[in-house]
């Protein structure tokens, strides 16, 4: 049975072509309307910056640096950016995004995680214990990583 030429034997009314629909973009990642006068070079720079940010997020996930990953997602509200596979996912032009990232002041975050062990929610006498530590987020270093990956 030949599958490549089967459409030659079907009448045009029965020929069904596959319909390709664009992937659904979550409402939080809907891109704002951008000016129509953007050049091809501007779009290429935006795409390269977006891919560099996505690669930085991927490397943070692989290296289990969840704090940097979550901070980068929260920066300018880019939640779900690492899962998107289309152009124009950044909310602003690449130059503005990188400028804001490089000018952002360093932040010290307090991370609090539960200690695994004999704690249960059912026993009221055993209190859940946590350990805390500080993480320094330096956006300038993250911006340099993005620029290196972009080049």
Give the pLDDT confidence of 35-85 residue by residue, as tens digits: 556 788 888 888 888 889 988 888 889 999 888 888 988 888 878 777 777
Query: Which of the pair, 19 or 107, is modelled with greater confidence?
Result: 107
pLDDT at 10 over 70: no
Q: What is the pLDDT of residue 14?
A: 47
Q: Measured between alpha carbons, how far is 12 from 6 in angstroms, rounded to an integer?
A: 12
This prediction has a pTM of 0.65
| Residue 118 forms part of a structural domain | no
Domain residue limits at 86:
39-104+138-150
| Residue 48 forms part of a structural domain | yes
Query: Which of the pair, 92 or 12, is modelled with greater confidence?
Result: 92
| Residue 90 forms part of a structural domain | yes
Long-range contacts made by residues 111-115, C-beta under 8 angstroms, separation at least 24? Answer: 111/67, 111/135
The one-character DSSP state at 26 is P
Longest Cα separation, the chain: 76
| Residue 117 forms part of a structural domain | no
In the chain, how many domains are there? 1
């Amino acid at each position: 049975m030949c599958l490549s030429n089967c459409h030659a034997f079907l009448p045009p009314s029965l020929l069904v072509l596959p319909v390709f629909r664009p992937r659904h973009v979550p409402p939080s990642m809907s891109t704002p309307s951008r000016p129509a006068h953007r050049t091809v070079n501007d779009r290429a720079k935006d795409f390269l910056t977006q891919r560099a940010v996505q690669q930085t997020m991927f490397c943070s996930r692989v290296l289990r640096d969840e704090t940097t990953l979550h901070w980068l997602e929260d920066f300018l509200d880019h939640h779900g950016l690492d899962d998107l596979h289309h152009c124009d996912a950044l909310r602003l032009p690449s130059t503005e995004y990188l400028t804001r990232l490089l000018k952002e002041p360093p932040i010290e975050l307090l991370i609090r995680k539960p200690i695994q062990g004999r704690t249960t929610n059912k026993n009221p006498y055993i209190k859940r214990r946590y350990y805390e530590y500080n993480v320094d987020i330096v956006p300038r270093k993250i911006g340099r990583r993005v620029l290196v990956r972009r080049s």
